[in-house]
Structure 1
Amino acid sequence: MKERWLPVGLVAAGLFVVNIVARLVVRFAAGSDDDRQITIGLWALFAVGAVLIPIAFWYGRRVPMIRVIGELGLAVVVACLLSVLVGPFVSGVGPFSNGIGLVFQQFFYFVGVSAIGAVIGLLILMTTGLDYKSQSWKRYIERTSTKPRKVVRR
């Protein structure tokens, strides 16, 4: 149980930490300048997607693709919910202070950019032939193409 859900929790925590760091940078460095706040927010969003590229690559080598999609998807949704509902308190505002529309917008942007990062990582993995399924096929071909052991008669 620990081996399966610990990586999911660590991925969710890592993505949440990236968002919190970005919110702190916006709070202390950008001040009330809207252009700087948007720029820092966009860079943080791209950082979330960039973090998922190596994570998806690493995770896809270890487990079948259906588990990668399910477990990374769960980690992204948990991190997104934490970032959207808890993250604004770090910035000094409430999560629904700017309306529910902004909450949904942040949620869909976060999930969308995360999905793009994960897909890029998985495509790189499949292109190099290092994913779980390709390695299984490789082992199967090696096993079936070897000659059977000769029986020694006495």
Structure 2
Amino acid sequence: MRQQRWFPIAVLALSLFAVNVVARLVIRIGFHGNETAESRVSVVMFAVIGVVLATLAFVWCQRVPVGRWLPDLAGGAVGGMLLTILVGPFVSGDNPFSEGAGNFFSQVWLYGGFAIGGTVLGYWIATALGRDYRSKALRAYAEKRNTRPRRVVGR
């Protein structure tokens, strides 16, 4: 089952949803009714989601090409976002549209922004350090090219 392509995507989506559930429980138990604290915990939650995705992008981009890991990461992030936005409010005792469409779509944009930002940041750091898959392939090609003996030209 772990070798299936959907397994890491599902684990990522559930992990991101777990981050949201923990944040919602912290708000519900510790800061219920305090708007400032609720906003801060929400921003911390989105930052943790960005850091998780940055870390995964950094690790995965070292092992496989972008075309292989990016759809998996995007699928997991979208799955986590859907769970967070559609199922998460029930943890707090609300429903997804209880505070209106504006709040619903602001969560979508915040989640998407932090997810994209985290993924791009992780990939850029790996690329800047020369640790991504493409940089490693180019380095191996250059080393192979330089180790070949020179061709003797017969005149």
- Find the counterpart in structure 2 of residue 103 from structure 1: 104
In the TM superposition, what is the alpha-carbon distance from 1:34 to its structure 2 partner? 1.0
**Cα distance 1:15–1:28, how it changes in 2: closer, same or farther (>3 A)?**
same
Q: Secondary structure at the match of 2:5?
A: helix
* 1:1-20 correspondence runs (5 A): 2-20=3-21
What TM-score do the two structures reach when normalised by structure 2? Answer: 0.89
What code does the residue aligned with 2:47 have? Answer: F
Q: In 2, Cα distance between the equivalents of 1:9 and 1:69?
A: 14
After superposition, the C-alpha distances for 1:54-108 in whole angstroms (9 at most, x for unaligned) are 1110111111112332221111111000000000000000111112222121111
- Find the counterpart in structure 1 of residue 39 from structure 2: 38
* 1:1-154 correspondence runs (5 A): 2-147=3-148
What code does the residue aligned with 1:11 have? Answer: L
Unaligned residue ranges in structure 2 (runs of 5+) = 150-155
Unaligned residue ranges in structure 1 (runs of 5+) = 149-154
In the TM superposition, what is the alpha-carbon distance from 1:3 to its structure 2 partner? 4.8
- Find the counterpart in structure 1 of residue 152 from structure 2: none
Q: In 2, Cα distance between the equivalents of 1:26 and 1:113?
A: 20
In the TM superposition, what is the alpha-carbon distance from 1:47 to its structure 2 partner? 1.1
Q: Which one is further off, 21-30 or 138-147?
A: 138-147
Q: In 1, Cα distance between the equivalents of 2:147 and 2:107?
A: 54
**Percent of aligned pairs with the same amino acid:** 37
What code does the residue aligned with 1:31 have? Answer: H
What code does the residue aligned with 1:79 have? Answer: G
In the TM superposition, what is the alpha-carbon distance from 1:147 to its structure 2 partner? 2.6
Q: Secondary structure at the match of 1:31?
A: coil
In the TM superposition, what is the alpha-carbon distance from 1:113 to its structure 2 partner? 0.6
What TM-score do the two structures reach when normalised by structure 1? Answer: 0.89
Q: Secondary structure at the match of 2:73?
A: helix
Q: In 1, Cα distance between the equivalents of 2:148 and 2:35?
A: 69
Q: CA RMSD in A?
A: 1.5
What code does the residue aligned with 2:21 have? Answer: I
